[in-house]
Amino acid sequence: EVQLVESGGGLVQPGGSLRLSCAASGDTFDYYTIGWFRQGPGKERGEVSVACIDSNDGSTYYADSVKGRFTISRDKVKNTVYLEMSSLRPEDTAVYYCGISLLGIVASASMYDYWGQGTQVTVSS
């Protein structure tokens, strides 16, 4: 059993920054991917990750909508993945979820096996 806990969400003005954290506990895996997904107001959770990272080699994937603004990183000792978000826009407003896939780096939500409860990010003036 794996538990994921997201934190760091909040209210920020357009152009501002936030850092989200995803702490993993429970069963550990030698090789997995952690990805961030988001669910905007009135929408389903996105099928494609906004960012994900391979726990083994640190390779990353970013959706075009966040390239250059979001940075994903990992701390293997703390079993925590971070999402640094900058130049935030109102359209980034969403509940952000982290998930674990036991496959190599994948962006599709259907390939993810475990999910956190989400953290709300609101970008508004």
- Predicted confidence at residue 29, as pLDDT, reads 67
Tens digits of residue pLDDT in 82-117: 999 999 999 999 999 999 998 888 889 999 999 999
Exposure string for 17-34, b = 16+ CB within 10 A, e = fewer:
ebebbbbbeeeeeeebbb
3-state secondary structure of 5: strand
In 10 A of CB 46, how many CB atoms? 18
Over the stretch 53-76, which tens digit does the pLDDT of each residue have? 998 889 999 999 999 999 999 998
Q: How confident is the model at residue 109, as a pLDDT?
A: 93
Three-class SS state of 45: coil
Distance CA 5, CA 13 (A): 24
